[in-house]
Amino acid sequence: MVNFSEARGRQTLPWCLFAVLAAASTGVQAQDKPSTLSLQALVSQVRELNKDILIKRAEKGIAATGLDRAAAAFQPVASVSATEGRNRQPSTYEEKLTRPGSVGSFYQRDGQDFTAGVSQLLPSGAKLEAKSSLSRFITNVNQAQPDRPAGAKDNRTFWGLTVTQPLAKDGGAEVTQARGLVAQLDLAVAEQTQFDTESSVVADATLAYYELVLAQHRVSAAHEKIRTGQGLLSQARDLSRQGRLPETEVWEVENSLARFQAGLSEAKQAERERLNRLNTLLMRATGAEAPVWRAGDPLPEVTIRDAVPSHSLSLAMENRPDFLMYKKLIEREGVQLVYAKNQALPRIDLVASYGQNGLAYAARTALNPSTMADNPTWTLGLQMQIPLGENRQGRADVVAAQLRRENALLTLKALEVQIANDIDTSLSMRASAIERWTHWQSVAKREQQQLELERKKFTAGRSEMREILMREERAVNSRLMQLEQQLAFAKAQVVLESAQGTLLQRWPS
């Protein structure tokens, strides 16, 4: 890391005294210094507070509820009903002939009906339903029977078991479990989408943090130029008053100092913009709840001989969240395609049922198994529902599912090409940044040497003040250019880690 506070050669006592006074004149107190924030702390806060990350986490939570909804299809369902009522109907002519006397003109039923049942979907697609009922009633017809006990009601009972097994549409474990499998894949897609968003936001925050570090260096460099200009201006005015320096030289220094001050204002604005960018990622408003802070970490050192994994592409295929997301999406569309093909089949259901009935004046007698065993009832048969002509809806659903799967496959292939190009671009960016940093390191070293030589010549009276200003500015600018290449190297490293899908491994949650 290049430090702008490095010693820049031997300086005179008045020059040092002026630098101290200039620093004191800024009015910066120790207690007013902004707090510092490390990159690791920033990333932790971003992962906890960033809006986009929180939204994706909520979407993942929503997707997780799909597992319960899918499992609910196999949950037993109980149904219970209890009713009491009266039913009065006028008799037809034929009914009057069979119901002589006072009961012939109408039919009336008073009673209570109770039913209870349990149904459940089985993995094979069969629907199993067990049902029991009890009806306690009396009618004006049976009430007129002479041998009937006074006030006695009939108790009719039934219990039965019905199984409906689809043989085509909705049949088979692959179809009945498709909803649960899709819910699991939706959750996996949501999880990888969250990781992809998290990686993207962390990459943005890391790059913005490094840019803030460089912006802080630019502010420091601007202050350094101003301190140099102020020191030279003081010397120039002293020499001008002594008649040893023309007034035009003083003007030259004043113009340079004004340029340096304008540069400081520009550097501070750039620093503020980068700070606000980071605070936006943190969902904080600068100057309100969030205090002004500084980046505490330096730019990463340029590692010229740092080894880059030769298997970057395979590493990306194993770690890139967006690549893993599309693989899960393809698997999901495959399940949907199987389901769509099944739904295009005709409905052919095998239906079987068995039950027993009971009837007595007492409910206990009517519910007795020995009483009900004498009155069995059963059915066995097929139910079919087939469209007349072509099943246009089923065919359209299959075509749509096939196209969605092909689209996901094409997207995955395109993403694979993009990943390969991203890795190549990041490696080229990294190599180029290293090369430029090496050149600018040499330039900065030579500029510093020339500056020190020029100062010695000026002290000996063999140089001009404008030459000192030019050399000073070039030395500072060359160090800034070296820092820019260091920033480019850091950015290339972030881009490479993002392309490989390994960026979040720096900061495990």
Residues 430 and 376 reside in one and the same domain: no
Residues 232 and 310 reside in one and the same domain: yes
Residues 443 and 318 reside in one and the same domain: yes
Residues 6+ apart with CB under 8 A from 186: 63, 66, 332
Say whether pLDDT at 50 is over 60: yes
In a domain, residue 362? The reply is yes
Mean pLDDT of 272-292: 82
> Residue written as tokens 């803030």?
212
For residues 231, 234, 240 and 241, what is the CA-based torsion angle, rounded to 10 degrees?
-150
Both structure tokens of 236 = 């120039």
| Contact criterion met (CB below 8 Å) for 505 and 203 | no
Chain centre to alpha carbon of residue 192: 7
Residues 164 and 308 reside in one and the same domain: no
| Contact criterion met (CB below 8 Å) for 253 and 243 | no
Residue 312: name the closest of 419, 212, 232, 414 by CA.
419
pLDDT of 189-224, one tens digit each?
A: 999 999 999 999 999 999 999 999 999 999 999 999
pLDDT score for 100: 64
> Residue written as tokens 């190297």?
489
Residues 378 and 233 reside in one and the same domain: no
Residues 409 and 269 reside in one and the same domain: yes
Q: 430, exposed or middle or buried, with CB in 10 Å at 0-12, 13-18, 19+? A: buried
d(CA 354, CA 129): 11
In a domain, residue 454? The reply is yes
Residues 130 and 244 reside in one and the same domain: no
Residue 37: name the closest of 290, 302, 303 by CA.
290
Residues 265 and 371 reside in one and the same domain: no
Confidence of residue 27 (pLDDT cuts 50, 70, 90): very low
Residues 6+ apart with CB under 8 A from 86: 108, 109, 110
| Contact criterion met (CB below 8 Å) for 192 and 321 | yes
In a domain, residue 52? The reply is no
Split into its structural domains, the chain has a count of 2
pLDDT of 307-360, one tens digit each?
A: 666 788 889 999 999 999 999 999 999 999 999 999 999 999 999 999 999 999
d(CA 90, CA 74): 46
Residues 413 and 322 reside in one and the same domain: yes
pLDDT score for 307: 62
In a domain, residue 45? The reply is no
Alpha helices in 122-246 (DSSP H): 173-176, 178-241
pLDDT score for 102: 62
Q: Give the H/E segment covering residue 41.
A: helix 39-49
Relative to beta strand 293-295, strand 35-37 is: parallel
Residues 354 and 413 reside in one and the same domain: no
Which residue segment(s) compose the domain that 410 sits in? 13-19+58-64+182-273+299-330+405-504
In a domain, residue 34? The reply is no
In a domain, residue 357? The reply is yes
Q: What is the CA radius of gyration of the chain?
A: 43
Task: For residue 308, give the CATH number of its domain.
Answer: 1.20.1600.10
Residues 317 and 457 reside in one and the same domain: yes
In a domain, residue 191? The reply is yes
pLDDT score for 9: 37
In a domain, residue 27? The reply is no
Q: Tell me what the pLDDT averaged over the chain comes to.
A: 88
Say whether pLDDT at 17 is over 70: no
pTM of the complete model: 0.79
**Whole-Å CA distances, 41 to 77, 197, 285, 294:** 51, 19, 18, 12
| Contact criterion met (CB below 8 Å) for 135 and 343 | no
pLDDT of 395-417, one tens digit each?
A: 999 999 999 999 999 999 999 99
Residues 267 and 379 reside in one and the same domain: no
